[in-house]
């Protein structure tokens, strides 16, 4: 741990040095101060902004300040308790800020652990020394060494993939396209081991916090001999401030040789990386949905480019963007065409629910298949991407349906164990008690409408009284560590039936799971979003891929009312390539991404018309700019439209889509446009934000 030196800048007689600082403020500017003590680019400083004390990051040491030198304030404290951030890291953050059109300070500061960017952690007697020193003085339990695990011999396809990756010591993007269970993880581990052996570090991204324990275990078991007992650092948003700080410092100091994390780990402070891995690269979780709306996958490719190193994007169902890049040979494809263990892919069956007598939403085919698997002591996974007991409560006599008072959505019936049923709004978080009778007609007989995971769990308990059932969804895993414990019980064979949402669909290598049942996948079929079929297909392939991973003879039963849809037909044949070919042609015909680039301006206001008027004015100014820069031919401005769920938390939402076949033209238009937008603000009655490369439209 570096020694702590808090250099107080009290002596005003020393020569002034101008210091340009990025602060976490929604303003695009950088702020100039002066310092009488040595400061480096990448240092953190405490400064006064107005009357507020803030921590900022030094991003420049200009010869002259940007405004009247006489008014430039002095830096209060130069924080030297950590090594300064490197210029390479700052270059990366600057790119992200520029590309996603956000102020630099709003990118840089949130990327640091909270204690390093909040003034309060440096104030007061006890905290005067700062969070780094406090952490160093606290004893921590030494990491337990993980016992080394056997290394399977790679099959020829895996070997080729590893060889191609490690032979590359310059920038190159690999698309590791391997069916579920094809041993992509093994490829990452081998490539990582060789990168470490060369003295370089490895950055590995996974889409879900839940997947980190499994990966951490394999990384430590396999790579600790090369990386050391503290060689693996884990970064994700569920860590406490202290844990996050500790991991971050281990990365920055170089102690951690491997960084494993979710999307935010792309901002980890390290430069001597020799390999970046993005597992399940198609996964929407790589997209941050508020603040800086970045794609960690896209940033990973930029960072690899900047550092001159290979990046591996792995998936059984690559995003169409990545697939198209591989077709153009911008990315190099590496194929793992078969499962690594000597097992086949699961067989897929579509059960047409239109003509069937269902039992609590479960078809006779699925129930029969479950009986067989359970009798055979195999595990069953029931996948339903809808948490809660029922999507709504309704009145049979008058048709009343439970609705949120703050949003234009239904409220979801939840029946937590031991506690009474409640109505939850999944959009604004409002929780209401269930009315005694119908608010409209007074009828006492209110009924749940449809089924969520809780209700399916309840039915399954009645139908299979002997079975040990576990439900894994956002509700059953609120407590820290509970998801990990539930997954561990599944892996330990203490569970017969697993009911879950998308949380259970990804990544897990279940050894004894024979059957996957998919309920209500149709909900996603008719979404307006042009990416919905791609997402549905990826999700179905992922969840189907959980079946028969070790024992073979896996089976997937999809209940649907639309078995003839292309998505399901492709799933039957495990035909990602065919599905991708078909979808890419469609996208090309419609000039949609990856054949164009998009940006989305969203606005919300109490009154929908205010939001729409703002967007209309914004559209006109974009139009003028486009005329001025003569980009009309490559730029499409759509009409402002209300969102499907128009009101959330009493704010009405609308959006304006911009599309261009020319990315630099779009980028430069956005830059000019953003400067004009505040003038369109209707007396602050509108909240707006701009998203580059939006994933949901
Ligand atoms: P993926 O990430 O592609 O879905 P995994 O990496 O989880 O697949 O591998 C699936 C299973 O196959 C795992 O249980 C893994 O231990 C095993 N496996 C991977 N490579 C080999 C190999 N070369 N020989 C035998 N088993 C392997
Ligand atoms: Zn009623
Ligand atoms: Zn609501």
Please tell me the number of Cα atoms within 13 Å of 607 on its side-chain side: 7
Domain of 662, CATH number, reads 3.30.70.360
Whose tokens are 């652990």? That residue is 113
The residue whose CB lies within 8 Å of the most ligand 1 atoms, and thus the one to mutate among 185, 313, 317, 538, is 185
Note the pLDDT tens digit of each residue in 376-412: 999 999 999 999 999 999 999 999 999 999 999 999 9
Nearest ligand to the C-alpha atom of residue 188: 1
In a domain, 513, yes or no: yes
Q: Does 439 fall in a domain? A: no
Query: What values do phi and psi take at 401, rounded to 5?
Result: -130, 140
**Would you state the pLDDT for residue 287?**
96
Q: Are 575 and 541 in contact (CB under 8 A)?
A: no
Among 218-232, 323-337, 393-407, 418-432, the minimum mean pLDDT is found in 218-232
Q: Calculate how far, in angstroms, residue 206's C-alpha sits from the geometric centre of ligand 1.
A: 17
What number is the average pLDDT over the span 210-222? Answer: 89
Distances (CA, A) of 87 to 35, 59, 262, 564: 20, 9, 23, 55
**pLDDT score of 167:** 97
Residue nearest to atom 19 of ligand 1 (CA): 183
Question: Does the residue 697 lie in any domain?
Answer: no
Same domain, 24 and 131: yes
Is it the case that residue 519 has pLDDT exceeding 90?
Answer: yes
- Structure confidence by residue, pLDDT tens digits, 173-195: 999 999 999 999 999 999 999 99
User: What CATH number has the domain bearing residue 229?
Assistant: 3.40.50.300
Ligand nearest to the CA of 334: 1
158 lines ligand 1 (CB under 6 A): yes
Bridge-based pairing state of the strands 172-178 and 332-336: parallel
Q: Indicate if 98 and 172 belong to the same structural domain.
A: no
Q: Domain ends where: 336, 369, 397?
A: 336
pLDDT number for residue 291: 87
Position 510 in a domain: yes
Measure CA of the first residue to CA of the last residue in the chain; give whole Å. 46
Ligand 1 centroid–CA 342 distance in Å is 10
Q: Ligand 1 in contact with 279 (CB < 6 A)?
A: no
pLDDT tens figures, 62-92: 999 988 888 999 999 999 999 999 999 999 9
Find the mean pLDDT for residues 281-288.
96
User: What residues does 615 pair with on adjacent strands?
Assistant: none
What proportion of the chain, given as a percentage, has pLDDT over 90? 80
Domain annotation covers residue 555: yes
Q: Are residues 496 and 468 in the same domain?
A: yes
Number of folded domains in the chain? 4
- Angstrom distance (rounded) from CA 244 to CA 250: 10
Is residue 29 assigned to a domain?
yes
> How remote is the CA of residue 409 from the centroid of ligand 3, in Å?
7
Banded pLDDT at 678 (limits 50, 70, 90): confident
**Predicted local distance difference test score (pLDDT) of residue 141:** 62
Pair 537, 645 in one domain: no
Closest residue by CA, ligand 1 atom 20: 183
Based on the domain organization, do 660 and 638 belong to the same domain?
yes
Whether the predicted pLDDT of 367 surpasses 80: yes
Say yes or no: CB of residue 293 within 6 Å of ligand 1.
Answer: no
Average pLDDT over residues 35-55: 95
Check whether residue 362 and residue 475 sit in a common domain: yes
| Ligand 2 center from residue 401 Cα (angstroms) | 8
Radius of gyration, alpha carbons of the chain: 27
In this structure, the answer to whether residues 505 and 359 fall within a common structural domain is yes
Residue ending a domain, among 561, 587, 613, is: 587
Same domain, 174 and 293: yes
The model's confidence at residue 11, banded by pLDDT at 50, 70 and 90, is very low
**Could you tell me if 563 and 654 lie in one domain?**
no
Q: What is the pLDDT of residue 406?
A: 97
Q: In which domain, by residue range, is 183 found? A: 156-336
Mean predicted lDDT score pLDDT of the chain:
92
Interval 461-501: pLDDT, tens: 999 999 999 999 999 998 888 999 999 999 999 999 999 99
As a whole number of angstroms, the distance between CA 479 and CA 489 comes to 16
Same domain, 610 and 685: yes
437: CA distance to ligand 2 center in Å? 8
Is the pLDDT at 14 greater than 60? The verdict is no
**Under 8 Å between Cβ of 81 and 134:** no
- CA of 282 from ligand 3 middle (Å) equals 30
Give yes or no for residue 181 CB within 6 A of ligand 1: yes
pLDDT digits (tens, 9 = 90+) for 131-164: 888 887 776 666 666 776 778 899 999 999 999 9
pLDDT range class, residue 125, cuts 50, 70, 90:
low
**Do 373 and 297 share a structural domain?**
no
Ligand 1 mutation pick, 175, 181, 277, 316, max ligand atoms within 8 A of CB:
181
Distances (CA, A) of 560 to 129, 300, 519, 578: 62, 37, 8, 21
Q: Which of 91, 109, 137 is the last residue before a domain boundary?
A: 137
Residue 340: CB within 6 Å of ligand 1? Answer: yes
Average pLDDT over residues 550-557: 94
CATH number at residue 122: 3.40.1440.60
Confidence of residue 12 (pLDDT cuts 50, 70, 90): very low
Q: Is 214 in the pocket of ligand 1 (CB under 6 A)?
A: no
Cα of 398 from ligand 2 centre, angstroms: 4
The yes-or-no verdict on residue 2 having pLDDT over 50 is no
Assigned domain for 400 exists: no
Q: Would you place residue 282 in the very low, low, confident or very high pLDDT band (cuts 50, 70, 90)?
A: very high
Q: What is the pLDDT of residue 1?
A: 37
For 496, the 3-state DSSP assignment is coil
Residue 376 lies in a domain: yes
Nearest CA-CA partner of 542 in 500, 485, 492, 587: 500
Q: Do 546 and 505 touch, CB atoms closer than 8 A?
A: yes
- The residue among 436 and 90 whose pLDDT is bigger is 90
Which ligand has an atom closest to residue 397 CA?
2
How far is 148 from 371, CA to CA, in rounded Å? Answer: 38
Residue 180: CB within 6 Å of ligand 1? Answer: yes
Question: In this structure, are 524 and 665 located in the same domain?
Answer: no
For position 3, what pLDDT does the model report?
Answer: 40
| Interval between CA 447 and ligand 2 midpoint (Å) | 11
697 versus 60: the higher-pLDDT residue is: 60
Of the listed ligands, the closest to the CA of 508 is 1
- The pLDDT of residue 140 is 65
Q: Is the CB of 548 under 6 A from ligand 1?
A: no
Query: Whose atoms come closest to the Cα of 409: which ligand?
Result: 3
Sort strands 273-279 and 201-205 into parallel, antiparallel or unpaired: parallel
User: Which of the 8 DSSP states describes residue 246?
Assistant: H
647-661 mean pLDDT: 97
Total-model pTM: 0.93
Supply the pLDDT for residue 175: 98
Range with lowest mean pLDDT among 142-151, 568-577, 585-594, 635-644: 142-151
Q: Answer whether 255 contacts ligand 1 (Cβ < 6 A).
A: no
* Residue 178 near ligand 1, beta carbon < 6 Å: yes
């Amino acid at each position: 741990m570096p020694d702590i030196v808090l250099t107080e800048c009290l002596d005003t007689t020393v020569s002034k040095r101008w210091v340009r600082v990025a602060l976490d403020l929604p303003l695009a500017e950088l702020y100039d101060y002066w310092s009488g003590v040595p400061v480096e680019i990448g240092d953190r400083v405490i400064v006064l902004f107005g009357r507020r004390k803030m921590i900022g990051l030094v991003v420049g040491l200009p010869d002259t300040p940007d405004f009247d030198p006489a008014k430039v304030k002095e830096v209060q404290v130069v924080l030297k308790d950590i090594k300064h951030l490197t210029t390479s890291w700052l270059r990366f953050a600057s790119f992200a800020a520029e590309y996603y059109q956000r102020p630099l300070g709003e990118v840089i500061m949130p990327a640091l652990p909270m204690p390093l960017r909040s003034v309060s952690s440096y104030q007061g007697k006890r905290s005067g020394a700062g969070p780094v020193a406090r952490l160093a003085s606290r004893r921590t339990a030494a990491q337990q060494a993980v016992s080394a695990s056997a290394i399977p011999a790679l099959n020829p396809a895996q070997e080729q993939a590893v060889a191609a990756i490690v032979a590359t010591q310059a920038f190159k993007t690999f698309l590791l396209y391997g069916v579920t269970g094809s041993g992509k993880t093994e490829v990452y581990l081998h490539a990582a081991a060789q990168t470490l052996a060369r003295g370089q570090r490895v950055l590995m991204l996974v889409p879900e916090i839940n997947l980190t324990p499994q990966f951490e275990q394999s990384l430590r078991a396999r790579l600790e001999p090369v990386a050391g007992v503290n060689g693996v650092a884990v970064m994700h948003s569920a860590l406490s401030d202290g844990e996050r700080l500790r991991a971050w410092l281990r990365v920055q100091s170089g102690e951690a040789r491997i960084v494993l994390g979710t999307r935010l780990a792309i901002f980890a402070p390290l430069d001597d990386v020799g390999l970046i891995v993005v597992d399940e690269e198609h996964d929407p979780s790589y997209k941050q949905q508020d603040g800086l709306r970045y794609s960690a996958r896209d940033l990973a490719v930029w960072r690899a480019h900047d550092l001159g190193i290979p990046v591996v994007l792995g998936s059984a169902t690559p995003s169409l963007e990545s697939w198209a890049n591989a077709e153009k040979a911008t990315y190099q494809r590496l194929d793992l065409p078969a499962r690594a263990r000597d097992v086949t892919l699961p067989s897929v069956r579509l059960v047409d629910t239109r003509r069937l007598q269902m039992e609590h939403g479960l078809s006779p085919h699925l129930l029969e298949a479950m009986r067989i698997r359970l009798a055979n002591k195999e595990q069953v996974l029931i996948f339903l991407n809808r948490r809660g007991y029922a999507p709504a409560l309704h009145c049979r006599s008058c048709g009343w349906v439970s609705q949120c008072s703050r949003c234009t959505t239904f409220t979801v019936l939840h029946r937590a164990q031991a506690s009474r049923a409640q109505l939850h709004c999944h959009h604004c978080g409002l929780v209401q008690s269930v009315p005694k009778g119908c608010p409209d007609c007074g009828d006492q007989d209110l009924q749940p409408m449809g089924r969520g995971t809780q209700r399916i769990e309840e039915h399954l308990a009645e139908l299979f009284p002997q079975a040990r059932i576990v439900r894994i969804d956002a509700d059953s895993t609120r407590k820290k560590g509970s998801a990990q414990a539930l997954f561990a019980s599944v892996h330990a064979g203490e569970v017969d039936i697993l009911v879950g949402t998308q949380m259970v669909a990804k990544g897990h290598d279940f050894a004894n799971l024979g059957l996957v049942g998919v309920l209500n996948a149709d909900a996603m079929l008719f979404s307006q979003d042009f990416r919905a079929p791609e997402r549905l297909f990826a999700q179905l392939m992922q969840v189907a891929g959980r079946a028969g991973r070790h024992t073979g003879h896996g089976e997937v039963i999809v209940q649907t009312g639309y078995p003839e849809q292309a998505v399901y037909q492709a799933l039957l044949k495990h035909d990602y390539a065919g599905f991708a070919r078909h979808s890419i042609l469609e996208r090309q015909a419609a000039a949609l991404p990856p054949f164009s680039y998009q940006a989305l301006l969203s606005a919300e206001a109490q009154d929908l018309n205010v939001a729409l008027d703002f967007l209309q004015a914004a559209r006109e100014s974009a139009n003028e700019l486009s005329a001025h820069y003569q980009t009309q031919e490559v730029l499409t401005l759509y009409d402002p439209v209300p969102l499907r769920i128009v009101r959330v938390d009493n704010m009405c939402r609308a959006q304006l889509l911009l599309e261009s076949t020319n990315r630099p033209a779009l980028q430069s238009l956005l830059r000019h446009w953003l400067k004009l937008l505040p003038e369109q603000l209707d007396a602050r009655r509108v909240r707006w934000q701009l998203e580059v490369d939006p994933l949901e439209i």
